[in-house]
Structure 1
Amino acid sequence: MSAAAVLRGLLPGRADYADVPRTWRADLVAGATVGIVALPLALAFGISSGAGAAAGLVTAVVAGIVAAVFGGSNVQVSGPTGAMAVVLVPIVGEHGVGALAIVGILAGLLLVVAGVLRLGQLIGLVPWPVIAGFTAGIGVIIFLQQVPLVLGPSASAGTRPVLAAFSAATHADWSAAVWPLAAVAAVVLLMLLLPRIDERIPASLLAIVLVTIVAEVLDLPLARIGEIPSSLPMPSLPSVDPAVLQTLLTAAVAVAALSAIESLLSARVAVDLSGDARHNPDRELVGQGMACLASGAFGGIPATGAIARTAVNVKAGGRTRLAAISHSLVLLGVIYLASGPVSRIPTAALAAVLMLTAVRMIPYREIRTILRATRSDAAVLLLTMGVTVLVDLIEAVQLGIAVAAVFALRAVARTSGVRREEIDSDPDPADARIAVYRLTGSMFFGAAERVRAEVRADGDVEVVILAFSQLRTLDATGANTLAEIIRSLEKQGVTVLVKGVPSRHMALLRSVGVIEALRDPRHLFDRFPDALEHARSHVRRAEAARRTRATVAPA
């Protein structure tokens, strides 16, 4: 495929909206539904990130539209998410809210480059236990982040969620915390009960509205969101301090990695939910990159694909990009028409929404399944979850993938190696001096030393046959080890014959020197009977030579 064709596949086209004339009514209804669900989440995630409610709302509008137009999924909904908020908290604590625009723009550029380089397929390399542990860890962090918002006082910026929640619980003024706790209990109770009456009720939004009305009528002592803009800010490029640019670039890499992982996972879930397989992961990276760029320019925070909002979109009937676009337009209407009432929402009510969201996002069934699977999978899940909660999200994914890879290599190494076989043919006296070793599985760095230790010429063995026909994969370390084994045996006076080399391995064996290490290039065979016959004839000739030398030896 030409470069021009690749680039065309990463850009919007008329085909993206081919189904709109048929589905526009359902798309608009779905968009309005998602917008209602997204409003409290956008406000809450904005506050949770440290950037403020207004930043979350702006992100949902700007990034939501841009990702819908440029992204690789027809039904994905993007915006601020809990995972991204978790990553942004330490950035705000170290560099201030103003740094988020720079981080978002840098992360957006990285995502666009990753999409152009067609790195979207790499999401398939993330193991299931890592994804489950990562998701569960994020859920725990989101819950812990809300504890200081409810109990107060808030910890200093950048404090780890576990420590911040513990500090808030141990230093709380419980007499003053009665009303925030009551607001949390009311919102959670309403969110649990309202869907039982009618699943179509936007439970989180209605719960927040009711609690806000009660708080205003009774003038309850609850902290409010505060003023939010009544219009979108004008886009602008942030000023960059070269002294901190390198540090911010490191943060941008983490943000880009998280945005890529979460967006591609969300898009994959969308395919399963909608049954629409038209998804381009590389274009998804470009779309999320453009969304982060636009969000940063408008003063928002970096965005990702949102699994929960995407699921709501599909279940509500959304089938084209019009649904995700209209969800952002609904939120835009809130900014221009309802900024005053929104500013009076109690922060405890938003914290309650996030607490319940966090509890629901933990994949309990997947965790149980993985814990009952293998010990290595269980270890990867628990390690990823623990590092996510206690250390860092990106480091958790990196460490989880690394540990999973180690376990996988160990499993491959255990099923790979070499075994000595008996000669299964008509008996021949020469067979006592012939050893047959069959290489199986993968001859790679993880199994090379074990093969080296097991291939040997004991006793009177004069010929070793190495059978390669069951060797599936081979790397440079494995090939080099084979060359060293052959050289060592040949130095001992043992003739080595190689049988059944798969054609795909021949170039590597020649380049590393395996074939060159053989005493004679003709010691390479395609069939085992030919190799065995040559080995037997070699043993007979050697035996005849020994008898001749014994006969002519002086008395």
Structure 2
Amino acid sequence: MFVPKLFTCLKTYSKDQFVKDFIAGIIVAIIALPLAIALAIASGVSPEKGIYTAIVGGFIVSLLGGSRVQIGGPTGAFVVIVFGIIEKFGIDGLIVATIMAGFFLIIMGFFKFGGMLKFIPYPITTGFTSGIAVIIFSTQIKDFFGLTMKTVPSDFIPKWGAYFNSFSTLNLQSMLMGIFSLLIIIFWPKINKKIPGTLIAIVLTTIITLLFNLNIETIGSRFGDISSSLPAISLPHTSFAMIKELMLPALTIAILGSIESLLSAVVADGMIGGSHRSNMELVAQGVANICSGLVGGIPVTGAIARTAANVKNGGRTPIAGIVHSLALLMILLVCMPYVKLVPMSSLAAILIIVSYNMGEWEAFQRILKAPKSDAIVLLVTFSLTIFFDLVIAIGIGLLLASLLFMKRMADVSDVRYILDEYEDKDQIELIDSIKTPENVSLYEINGPFFFGAADKFMHAIREIGIPTKILIVKMSNVPAMDATGYHALEMLYGICKKHHTHLIILNLQSQPTTVLGKYGFIDALGVENICNNIDEAIERANILLEKPNALLKI
């Protein structure tokens, strides 16, 4: 259903709800401000770019989105990939990748991929989000301790090596402000839950730095004056070669954004008892990313923490998200000259908390209790994210999870000869009811019949040797089959034709029937040899045994 939630909510909107939405929007804007600045800097862009993203992206997500309470903006999930794009392609490359990701998201929404994203395994999402958390934490060490370094290596191990080599340059004042900020952020909620601790930390550390004239690097000393003007729309310089190289990073941004935004929407549904429109949400996220890219912003997605804060403060419609964007716009126009006074160590403390909250560390505590396959997927994805690349981590994680899933399906699928004294009464009666039971073989396939299980079937076929006059394959426990499963049946049919054996398929389910019908197998075998129950199979077997010279249909 491609109707924004805003349009639905406005039908029954009230003055009382507007007051609640307005208050929630203001509070969320105060929470979003330091996060937007910190995430922008961590991503490798100037501070105002993060605010542009929160304003433009947040407004469109609320205007067009499929969730009542979703708050859009920059999040930690994109820091690693955005930083990598800027390092290789510059700002223009980031803008192109963000716009491309927006189009990918719109396509995903229109093709109704919203329901499919839930099939991405939990160990993969846990692995890469926790890996991103570790990387974000590692990027903040320099600013937190005020280390003097010309360049910081991008790779994880060389980065930590450079930190240790430069630790003698530690700035004690910077470290103390960083620790002070951490303590405020951690303990402030015990004093007041309405005003975010991040804002209090920034305000207090900025005042202390000014009053005591501390020798601490600030946003202004690193970036110079911060623009307080409205963002201007500009088209990036690009080429076909750049677009080609950015295809995979853009797709990664789209997948990450879709996962995080829909996860946030699901969490919000649980808090308000609502139901989001996943495909509409993807389309809105796509439009938001295109517009964010056009104004020089960074990628946009649904922010779980800000969405939860919106709900907890009374927000129940997209109006709260729109108010949040407009409040950030006013802050941009009025307060940006003061942002340059904020200590970098204070922003580093904020991102350290963000990284801690991002990581799903409890999953690592439970990993020893989990199936080994899930533990392997989680650890591989986590390690590849940290030591190699996010794109590689997700790709290999999905491949590994798929292979392990295939193995599990193959393990629960089996092919067996079921004519022995231990089988159930129905199977024994089936063969005893046939005139010459010694000329009949009965096999049963259990579980999904796809390429993971077809090998077992082929092994069973090889063990048959020269088949009997009647070969019955029972498929009542086969819910689905694929092309490889069909190929295995086709090979069996070829063997039967070679040895003048009649093949009967028993209890064929709907999906396998459709597959075999499309391949023409049912027409080749003959619909009379597809039996729905035991009585039909008995009757068909006896008819065929009465006609020993009957030829198999081609």
Asked if TM exceeds 0.5, the reply is yes
Structure 2 contact 416–443 (Cα < 8 Å) conserved: yes
Partner of 2:533: 527
Provide the C-alpha distance between the structure 2 equivalents of 1:11 and 1:320, rounded to a whole number of angstroms. 8
For 1:39, what is the secondary structure of its paired residue?
helix
1:97 and 2:91 aligned: yes
Amino acid at match of 1:198: N
Partner of 2:242: 244
Partner of 2:230: 232
Tell me the CA shift for residue 180 of structure 1: 1.9
- Measured on the aligned residues, the alpha-carbon RMSD in Å equals 2.7
Amino acid at match of 1:496: L
Partner of 2:191: 197
Amino acid at match of 2:105: L
Matches within 5 A, 1:205-354: 205-226=199-220, 227-242=225-240, 244-277=242-275, 279-354=276-351
Structure 1 contact 497–524 (Cα < 8 Å) conserved: yes
1:363 and 2:360 aligned: yes
Q: Deviations over 1:6-57 (max 9, x none)?
A: 66x3696364564353411111111121111111111100100100212112
Partner of 2:387: 390
Using the aligned pairs only, state the percent identity.
Answer: 33
For 1:229, what is the secondary structure of its paired residue?
coil
1:74 and 2:88 aligned: no
1:166 and 2:172 aligned: no
For 1:418, what is the secondary structure of its paired residue?
strand
Tell me the CA shift for residue 199 of structure 1: 2.8
Tell me the CA shift for residue 262 of structure 1: 1.9
Amino acid at match of 2:301: T
Equivalent of residue 498 in structure 2, options 488, 491, 500? 491
Provide the C-alpha distance between the structure 1 equivalents of 2:219 and 2:415, rounded to a whole number of angstroms. 67
Amino acid at match of 1:102: V
Provide the C-alpha distance between the structure 2 equivalents of 1:373 and 1:296, rounded to a whole number of angstroms. 41
Amino acid at match of 1:356: I
Deviates more, 1:294-303 or 1:247-256: 247-256
Q: Deviations over 1:374-413 (max 9, x none)?
A: 1111111111211222222233223222222221121111
TM-score by length of 2: 0.89
Structure 1 contact 257–394 (Cα < 8 Å) conserved: no
For 1:447, what is the secondary structure of its paired residue?
helix
Residues 401/213 of structure 1: CA separation in 2 closer, same or farther (3 Å cut): same
Tell me the CA shift for residue 355 of structure 1: 0.4
Tell me the CA shift for residue 510 of structure 1: 4.0
Equivalent of residue 456 in structure 2, options 450, 468, 479? 450
Structure 2 contact 114–279 (Cα < 8 Å) conserved: yes
1:35 and 2:8 aligned: no
For 2:354, what is the secondary structure of its paired residue?
helix
Tell me the CA shift for residue 505 of structure 1: 3.0
Structure 1 contact 431–536 (Cα < 8 Å) conserved: no
1:380 and 2:377 aligned: yes
Amino acid at match of 1:205: L
Structure 1 contact 133–385 (Cα < 8 Å) conserved: yes
Tell me the CA shift for residue 353 of structure 1: 0.8
Amino acid at match of 1:444: F
Tell me the CA shift for residue 300 of structure 1: 1.7
Structure 2 contact 481–511 (Cα < 8 Å) conserved: no
For 1:223, what is the secondary structure of its paired residue?
coil
Equivalent of residue 509 in structure 2, options 502, 514, 517? 502
Tell me the CA shift for residue 223 of structure 1: 0.6
1:439 and 2:437 aligned: no
For 1:234, what is the secondary structure of its paired residue?
coil
Deviates more, 1:360-369 or 1:132-141: 360-369
Provide the C-alpha distance between the structure 2 equivalents of 1:427 and 1:282, rounded to a whole number of angstroms. 56
Structure 2 contact 37–48 (Cα < 8 Å) conserved: yes
Q: Deviations over 1:154-174 (max 9, x none)?
A: 574771244323322332334
Provide the C-alpha distance between the structure 2 equivalents of 1:11 and 1:24, rounded to a whole number of angstroms. 15
Structure 2 contact 153–162 (Cα < 8 Å) conserved: no
Gaps of 5+ in 2: 420-426, 549-554
Amino acid at match of 1:284: E
For 1:472, what is the secondary structure of its paired residue?
coil
Provide the C-alpha distance between the structure 2 equivalents of 1:322 and 1:539, rounded to a whole number of angstroms. 76
Deviates more, 1:199-208 or 1:497-506: 497-506
TM-score by length of 1: 0.89
Aligned residues: 534
Partner of 1:424: 428
Residues 53/460 of structure 1: CA separation in 2 closer, same or farther (3 Å cut): closer
Partner of 1:545: none
Tell me the CA shift for residue 257 of structure 1: 2.6
1:128 and 2:141 aligned: no
Residues 385/475 of structure 1: CA separation in 2 closer, same or farther (3 Å cut): same
Provide the C-alpha distance between the structure 1 equivalents of 2:546 and 2:59, rounded to a whole number of angstroms. 81
Provide the C-alpha distance between the structure 2 equivalents of 1:255 and 1:451, rounded to a whole number of angstroms. 42
Deviates more, 1:256-265 or 1:521-530: 521-530
Gaps of 5+ in 1: 1-5, 543-555
Residues 418/66 of structure 1: CA separation in 2 closer, same or farther (3 Å cut): same
